[in-house]
Structure 1
Amino acid sequence: MSKGPSGFIDAGQCESGLPWLWDDAPQGAEATLILAHGAGAPMDSPFMQHMAQGLAARGVRVVRFEFAYMAQRRLDGRKRPPNPQAQLLQQWRDVYAQVRQRVAGPLAIGGKSMGGRMASLLADELGASALICLGYPFYAAGKPEKPRVVHMAELRTPTLIIQGERDALGNRQAVAGYDLSPAIEVHWLQAADHDLKPLKASGFSHTQHLDSAVQIIAERLRPD
């Protein structure tokens, strides 16, 4: 392990061969969050770095991993689409099982965009302590008539979705019309897009919105 800004970082591969990063809390973690990346950016993108390091500094251990298609891109530099959904879900199961073997206490799952959506499909099955979604893709780009919310009506896992008000994959007006489970709380960030970046006219900066998301997640995951 090597020491990073948020504590000790274990960089390597899990038993199934997927790359992962562990950001531990300097003063000891009260909970653990497995955080998956979105479709187009890796586990160490600036967005994911900000989330992981910010949460670790607030007492939440964060485990990031890469789906197989992204891990392959890291090796050869070639962009490729995500693996089929069944494969993504199995990769999630594998990582969850391996993390569960290594940590005690509350274990939450979630992710950015696609990573969070895949986690939402498994949260109840895995018995996760919580589900955290950052910029949930309620529908594919340009296809609001085909929402991906059927399973969200029956979700039992306590869920926090942090969403930008003008997210092109699920803005405030569109989401208001969905039948979501009572277990789901949607926290809206003013004038923010899918990456939680606000319009300049809003008076907020991207960093402020990211820090706000970190604080809200930390408060949700840490035991009382």
Structure 2
Amino acid sequence: MSFEAIAGVAHPPAGEATGIVLLTHGAGGNRESPMLIRLCDEWAARGWLAVRYDLPFRRRRPKGPPSGSAASDQAGVGEAVALARSLTAGPVLVGGHSYGGRMTSMAVADGLAVEALTLFSYPLHPPGKPERARTEHLPRITVPTVFTHGTSDPFGSIDEIRAAAALVAGPTEVVEVTGARHDLGSKTLNVPALAVDAALRSLRP
């Protein structure tokens, strides 16, 4: 199966896949983000087909911040989900790091049908500007949502993220990564394993 249409790289499981997980990158990154690679490896080890893919702005140019409209990037998330739905009858999970997670969450808030949402370092507000909270769409999210967030992330404190998670209409969990900044780097915690554990819990009835 090919994911070239969404500039995606697949991490297949050893056997038949339980479902598909689609993960995308932050504003300054791409599908080659080391964190996305580790996350996809973890999902594949748990029996899921994991795909890391580039948002439309990154497909247009290899470097630089998002260009064009946010609506275009949200449509790119929809394209990824449509492709996944054509390949599996199982659950489809979506998520992303920072900007990619925000675009994915906005697409889900606008009605994109998925089984769960997994967000990494959600950019709650620009650093130092907590009054500019990016929360207006969160109450429209009805699917289970996991926020994996570092306690030293300048884009939102853990308390701010917990308050934002409480706005989501669906069930939520916050995975706290002690000491981590926006890149979620940790020398003591297995962040991919913790995040996947939480996402799998969110799928249980």
Q: Please indicate the TM-score interval, normalised by the length of the shorter structure.
A: 0.7 to 0.9
8 Å CA contact retained: 1:59, 1:218: no
Aligned equivalents of 1:88, 1:170: Cα separation in 2: 23
Deviations along 1:157-187, one digit per CA (max 9) or x if unpaired, are: 1111111112111111333444522522222
Quote the residue 1:51 is aligned against: 39
Quote the residue 2:160 is aligned against: 174
Task: Evaluate the alpha carbon distance shift between residue 20 and residue 153 of structure 1 in structure 2; reply closer, same or farther with a 3 A threshold.
Answer: same
* Structure 2 SS opposite 1:56: helix
Quote the residue 2:132 is aligned against: 146
Aligned equivalents of 2:99, 2:178: Cα separation in 1: 22
Do structure 1's residue 205 and structure 2's residue 191 form an aligned pair? Answer: no
Deviations along 1:165-216, one digit per CA (max 9) or x if unpaired, are: 1211111133344452252222211122111124xxxxx436x334332443
Aligned equivalents of 2:162, 2:148: Cα separation in 1: 14
Q: Residue 62 of structure 1: which of 25, 31, 50 is its match?
A: 50
Off by >6 Å, runs of 4+ in structure 1: none
Which amino acid in 1 is paired with 2:107? L
TM-score between the two structures when normalised by the length of structure 2: 0.87
Identity between Structure 1 and Structure 2 (%): 28
Quote the residue 1:6 is aligned against: none
Quote the residue 2:176 is aligned against: 188
TM-score between the two structures when normalised by the length of structure 1: 0.80
Deviations along 1:126-175, one digit per CA (max 9) or x if unpaired, are: 12111110111111233211100121123211111111112111111333
Which amino acid in 2 is paired with 1:31? G
8 Å CA contact retained: 2:145, 2:202: no
Q: List runs of 5+ in structure 2 lacking aligned partners.
A: none
Which amino acid in 2 is paired with 1:141? P
* Structure 2 SS opposite 1:160: strand
Number of equivalenced pairs: 202
How far off its partner does 1:220 sit? 4.0
8 Å CA contact retained: 1:38, 1:113: yes
Q: Which has the larger radius of gyration?
A: 1
Deviations along 1:7-52, one digit per CA (max 9) or x if unpaired, are: xxx5x511xxx31112111122212111111111110221111111
Aligned equivalents of 1:176, 1:159: Cα separation in 2: 12
Task: Evaluate the alpha carbon distance shift between residue 58 and residue 20 of structure 1 in structure 2; reply closer, same or farther with a 3 A threshold.
Answer: same
Task: Evaluate the alpha carbon distance shift between residue 108 and residue 209 of structure 1 in structure 2; reply closer, same or farther with a 3 A threshold.
Answer: closer
* Structure 2 SS opposite 1:150: coil
Task: Evaluate the alpha carbon distance shift between residue 104 and residue 195 of structure 1 in structure 2; reply closer, same or farther with a 3 A threshold.
Answer: same
8 Å CA contact retained: 1:197, 1:205: no
Do structure 1's residue 111 and structure 2's residue 111 form an aligned pair? Answer: no
